[in-house]
Amino acid sequence: MERLPSLMKLGPAHDPHTGPLQLPHMLISGRGAKLRPEALNYWFGQAVRGWTVMDRLGEIRVPALVLAGRDGFQFPPEHQVELAAGNPNSRLVNIERAGHNAHLERSAEVIRAIRDFMADGSPSRT
């Protein structure tokens, strides 16, 4: 709750055409806000400055799926490679022609990757 005032101030930077009064209509109609990547990147960098788990990835003892859109601007493919490399039990799958929201942009491919991973469960690099 302590971040709520900041989020309310930053909201217009993400989507200047949507405010609190439009939110219920957006949720009911299924229309999502079109975010500005620059504002989102700035906010994310400020909100989690200095936070990292990269040095702890080796502690994960179960198979993990690292799934990302190849065209993601927030966490580009080279970051995904680094994330998967830090966890010896991981499988990296990059979804072609998808950005940060690959699950929305290329749903069938994401579902296939998850099903394959759950059926097999062993790490392999793709």
* Residues 58 and 41 occupy one common structural domain: no
The enclosing domain of 91 has a CATH number of 3.40.50.11320
Which of 54, 46, 57, 56 lies closest to 6, judged by CA?
Answer: 46
Domain of residue 67: give its range: 54-120
The answer to whether residue 95 sits within a structural domain is yes
* Residues 11 and 63 occupy one common structural domain: no
Domain count, the chain: 2
pLDDT at res. 88? 87
- Contacts by 99-102, CB closer than 8 A, 24 or more apart: 99/69, 99/71, 99/72, 99/73, 100/69, 100/72, 100/73, 100/74, 100/75, 101/69, 102/67, 102/68, 102/69, 102/72
Average pLDDT by stretches of 10, the chain with 126 residues? 57 57 61 56 69 86 92 84 91 92 92 94 52
* Residues 75 and 105 occupy one common structural domain: yes
* Residues 62 and 43 occupy one common structural domain: no
pLDDT at res. 5? 64
pLDDT at res. 18? 57
pLDDT at res. 65? 94
The answer to whether residue 125 sits within a structural domain is no
